[in-house]
Chains A and B, each alone.
Chain A
Amino acid sequence: MFSILRTIWYVFLHAFQKRITVQYPEQKPYLAPRYRGRIVLSRDPDGGERCVACNLCAVACPVGCIALQATEDENGRRYPEFFRINFSRCIFCGYCEEACPTYAIQLTPDFEMGEFHRKNLVYEKKDLLIDGPGKHPGYNFWRIAGVQIGGKRKGEAAHEAPPVDVRSLLP
């Protein structure tokens, strides 16, 4: 009996407590830096596309919402001819980001992507590409990888030893 009255009193006291509701459009909620929201494609520090069109993200995607086509530019750099994410399918699991070997695909703390028409949720490469390097500012895949491209021969990448001349006898 007493506990019932006490319950009523305590519930009444809640009238004077702070509201926990976030008044959303006026008051934005705090989103952690690693929040998994809208997917972007980032660029190298020197402005080139990071994506090498390896298709790992498309394979890792559990709902199969990523589609891309690989191609090569005149320097031998692989890049996606088109890159398409269907956000009406995407579940924002972040597996694509985990799978990406070049830090190209990244999830961002932004979720405000509502649309009235489903087809507007299909993002093309121009919608996905951002100008900066995203979460990994200094990283440049083509400067680290041992792959030879135009303007960078074998052995010229960072921390890479010069190639061994297999035909020479010198140590």
Chain B
Amino acid sequence: MTSPYPLLSILGIVIGALTIAASLIYVERRLLALWQDRYGPNRTGPFGLLQVVADAIKIFMKEDWVAPFADKPVFILAPAVIFVTVLMSFAVLPVAPGIIVSDLNIGLLFFLAMSSLGVYSVVLAGWSSDNKYALLGGMRAAAQMLSYEVFMGLSLMGVVILAGSFSLPAIVEAQRHMWFVIPQFPGFVLFLIAGLAETRRIPFDLPEAESELVAGYHSEYSGMKFGMFFVGEYMGITLISGMISVLFFGGWLGPVLPGLVWFLIKTFFFISLFILLRAALPRPRFDQLMSWGWKVMLPLALVNVLLAGAAVLLWR
């Protein structure tokens, strides 16, 4: 299933992903304000929509400073890595029937691989900054993302077993009769938690942890390099939300409305959920995070895979 106009869909997905990531600056601030009994930015332009423009101008105008003690090439490269890896993952995200950059038959594995590569960005940023807080942040990021990646992959195996394919459009098509969230509810919860940890969002923002580590791995970054980390984070949220809707909530499938609209509705629902979690939950301690990851989540994911496999073997 390839698109009739591949270039057009590539352009559409790249521009769409970037636009959504940029608008999330505004959406997140408004939603956080909504749940904190405030208004959020509502002055610049209609409903404060031009806040994104103002933020972009501000961040481009900022001094792009590289610390003299930093490991320069790595320091400059690190923000690009996170951006590139997340953008690469969008290549396998099926937005609507036929609208996909590349329908890999191992799309899911590609997504997992790319999100694993994203760790390098954070670790290298922390390492090259030559700053103890940045290094601590980078170390935490490495430990956190390695341990949460393990069951992130495992939590998706239930879906793969049910769909019988690693290709994302095929997984969506397999959900025509029932969304995978129903038979794979534990998998969904595990993937949601792992996705939060992968995007380093607030319940799992230990690598950043501004109350402990200044700003963690991006303490030394300024200007657009810092902006790249943020755009990368927002794109990560968009990607994980899109992935959740594709893998567990039937992607573009839905009545009446066109597929793209359904996909966007589901994606925005999960983006809002991510922001709600940020508004609601405190940050766990680091040892709690690790012990949950290894002692609770990983065994649960394994049991989930076992049960899904057993169920498929019994009833098929």
Q: Which residues of A contact B280 (CB under 8 A)?
A: 7-8, 10-12
Q: What's the minimum C-beta distance from A44 to chain B, rounded to whole angstroms?
A: 45
In the complex, the chain B residue whose C-beta lies closest to that of A18 is B37
Contact count band on A: 10 to 19
- A126-B279 Cα distance, complex, nearest whole Å: 51
Cβ of A75 < 8 Å from any Cβ of B?
A: no
Q: Are B37 and A8 in contact (CB under 8 A)?
A: no
Contact count band on B: 10 to 19
- A14-B36 Cα distance, complex, nearest whole Å: 7
Q: Which residues of A contact B39 (CB under 8 A)?
A: 19, 21, 23
Q: Which residues of B contact A12 (CB under 8 A)?
A: 35, 276, 280
Given A7-B280, A8-B280, A20-B35 contact (CB < 8 Å): no
Q: Are B38 and A11 in contact (CB under 8 A)?
A: no
Given A7-B281, A8-B281, A14-B276 contact (CB < 8 Å): no
Cβ of A4 < 8 Å from any Cβ of B?
A: yes
Q: Which residues of B contact A23 (CB under 8 A)?
A: 39
In the complex, the chain B residue whose C-beta lies closest to that of A13 is B35
- A14-B35 Cα distance, complex, nearest whole Å: 5
Q: Are B279 and A11 in contact (CB under 8 A)?
A: yes
In the complex, the chain A residue whose C-beta lies closest to that of B34 is A15
* Interface mask (A1-44 → B, CB under 8 Å = 1, otherwise 0): 00010011011101101111101000000000000000000000
Q: What's the minimum C-beta distance from B196 to chain A, rounded to whole angstroms?
A: 12
Q: Are A11 and B35 in contact (CB under 8 A)?
A: yes
In the complex, the chain B residue whose C-beta lies closest to that of A17 is B37
Q: Which residues of A contact B289 (CB under 8 A)?
A: none
Q: Are B38 and A15 in contact (CB under 8 A)?
A: no
Q: Are A11 and B37 in contact (CB under 8 A)?
A: no
* Interface mask (B19-43 → A, CB under 8 Å = 1, otherwise 0): 0000000000000001111110000
Cβ of B170 < 8 Å from any Cβ of A?
A: no
Q: What's the minimum C-beta distance from B200 to chain A, rounded to whole angstroms?
A: 19
Q: Which residues of B contact A18 (CB under 8 A)?
A: 37
Given A8-B276, A11-B276, A12-B276, A20-B281 contact (CB < 8 Å): no
Given A11-B276, A12-B276, A4-B37 contact (CB < 8 Å): no
Q: Are A15 and B35 in contact (CB under 8 A)?
A: yes
Cross-interface CB contact of A19 among B38, B276, B279, cutoff 8 Å: B38
In the complex, the chain A residue whose C-beta lies closest to that of B38 is A21
Q: Which residues of A contact B109 (CB under 8 A)?
A: none
Q: What's the minimum C-beta distance from B250 to chain A, rounded to whole angstroms?
A: 24
Cβ of B277 < 8 Å from any Cβ of A?
A: yes
* Interface mask (B278-293 → A, CB under 8 Å = 1, otherwise 0): 0111000000000000
Q: What's the minimum C-beta distance from A42 to chain B, rounded to whole angstroms?
A: 37
- A23-B279 Cα distance, complex, nearest whole Å: 22
Q: Which residues of A contact B281 (CB under 8 A)?
A: 4, 7-8
- A15-B277 Cα distance, complex, nearest whole Å: 14
Please list the 9 inter-chain residue pairs (A to B) with the smallest Cβ-Cβ separation, ordered nearest first.
Answer: A11-B280, A8-B280, A14-B35, A21-B39, A20-B37, A15-B34, A7-B280, A21-B38, A11-B35
Chain A contact residues, CB within 8 Å of chain B: 4, 7-8, 10-12, 14-15, 17-21, 23
| Beyond A7-B280, A10-B280, 5 extra complex contacts between A and B, CB < 8 Å | A11-B279, A11-B280, A14-B35, A14-B37, A19-B39
